[in-house]
Amino acid sequence: RTPSSVGKGVVVVLNGYIDGARDVSKCNTTNVATFDSPLVGHLGIVQDGIAHYYKTSTRRHTQDSVFDVSKLSELPRVVIMTC
């Protein structure tokens, strides 16, 4: 855990890059660096185990997210399929 990551919401760290969880997507089927944020770019990098941020996400996240589960009595059913 890096103090500079506090308040950034959920992030994905792969191959040394930091991406916002709402922005990251799989962009290639064969490249090991397949995950990217093509529309907004990376939030930062991890170097020597320390997170360095270029920018912060402009999208709403965590407690400010549009999806609020606090008033739901049950969650919707999700089907998981393996192929």
- pLDDT tens by residue, 37-63: 988 899 999 999 899 999 988 776 666
In a domain? residue 7: yes
Residue 78 is assigned to a structural domain of this protein: no
In a domain, 43, yes or no: yes
- Torsion angle in degrees (nearest 10) through CA of 54, 63, 21, 39: -60
- Look at residue 55 and tell me if it is in a domain: yes
Q: And the tokens for 68?
A: 């609020």
Domain assignment of residue 32, given as a range: 3-62
CB 68 within 8 A of CB 62: no
Inside any domain, residue 69: no
Residue 19: per-residue pLDDT? 93
Task: Supply the pLDDT for residue 5.
Answer: 85
Cβ proximity of 22 and 57 under 8 Å: yes
**Position 75 in a domain:** no
Question: Residue 15 pLDDT > 80, yes or no?
Answer: yes
pTM for the full predicted model: 0.70
Q: How many domains does the chain have?
A: 1
